[in-house]
Amino acid sequence: MNRLHATKDFWLGALRADGPALRDAVEEAGPEAAVPSCPGWIVADLVEHLTSLMRWVRETTTRGVITRPPDRVVPEPRPEWSEALEGLRRELTGMTETLDALEPELPAWTWPAQAKKAGFWHRRMAHEVSVHRWDAEAAAGRPTPIETKLAADGVTEILDTWLPAGRRHEATNLQGVVHLVATDAAYEWFLRLRGTGVALLDTGTILDSDDHHARAEATGTASDLQLALMGRRPLDVLTLGGDRRLVAALHAA
């Protein structure tokens, strides 16, 4: 597996680029537009989800403790559209400023079984906003790809965080190795599935005696790989080989 040595500044840069694009897209699409990549959602639902999540992140990540914070609350009734847009703008700005002031090593609650540090939220929210920016642009009829290096890190986040934490779309007993290749980023990943378990393999340290030969392969741009694994695009946007069920088993919930 190639490793992108992303940093706090890298993720904050992504937030500052995707945040304004997200605002533009939701305003263009309008509150009642369907979000085709999120079945059952309209743009107003997307705005409400993001605004409440960013408020929660802004209010909880600075506590300096690893205990679980209270669940986020979605205010009711839903505000008027102009107020909702202003709330989205305000929380994008406030959350980005909060994360900018936050030291990555500060103790913080996180949901995967990883080091409980605030740096998790720099990465998580960069990808949350970038994918939902794509969703909003899809609702406006003009989706643009996720930036290549950000998308490559997004694929890695799915494989090293979402799937090991059990956040798969569906449980499976399939076993085998999947080889993912990002054609525009010179990145590749090997992931071994063992039923409900997964292991991201480091191709730099795999021994020749290990059975690491791919039983399924998916090739595409980093953006298409990330969006397909997040259920935003069909697997057919990728070039698939071997048992495609193994690739489908990587669909994150």
- Report the chain's mean pLDDT, rounded to a whole number: 93
What pLDDT sits at residue 197? 84
Which structure tokens are listed for 153?
A: 């890190």
> Is the pTM above the cut of 0.85?
yes
Q: Give 59 or 3, the one with higher predicted confidence.
A: 59
Q: Are 244 and 216 in contact (CB under 8 A)?
A: yes
Record: fold of 149-248: Nonspecific Lipid-transfer Protein; Chain A (3.30.1050)
Region 63-86 average pLDDT: 95
Q: In what order do the strands lie in the sheet with 216-220?
A: 197-201, 187-194, 175-182, 216-220, 239-242
Output the CA–CA distances (angstroms, integers) from residue 17 to 23, 69, 124, in the order listed.
11, 29, 15
Element (H, E) at 139: helix 119-139
pLDDT at 1 over 80: no
Region 176-196 average pLDDT: 92
Rounded Cα gap, residues 77 and 49, in angstroms: 14
Q: Give 213 or 36, the one with higher predicted confidence.
A: 36
- Indicate if the alpha-carbon torsion angle 75, 103, 121, 221 is positive or negative: positive
What pLDDT sits at residue 170? 81
Q: Domain map of the chain by residue range?
A: 8-144, 149-248
- Please report how many Cα atoms fall inside a 13 Å half-sphere around the Cα of residue 161, on the Cβ side: 18
**pLDDT tens figures, 109-166:** 999 988 999 999 999 999 999 999 999 999 999 999 999 999 999 999 999 999 998 8
Task: Give the DSSP per-residue string, 188-246.
Answer: EEEEEEETTEEEEE-TTT--TTS----SEEEEE-HHHHHHHHTTSS-GGGSEEEE-HHH
Q: Give 232 or 213, the one with higher predicted confidence.
A: 232
The percentage of residues in the chain with a pLDDT greater than 70, rounded to a whole number, is 93
pLDDT at 206 over 70: no
**pLDDT tens figures, 39-55:** 999 999 999 999 999 99
What pLDDT sits at residue 194? 87
Which class does domain 8-144 fall in?
Answer: mainly alpha
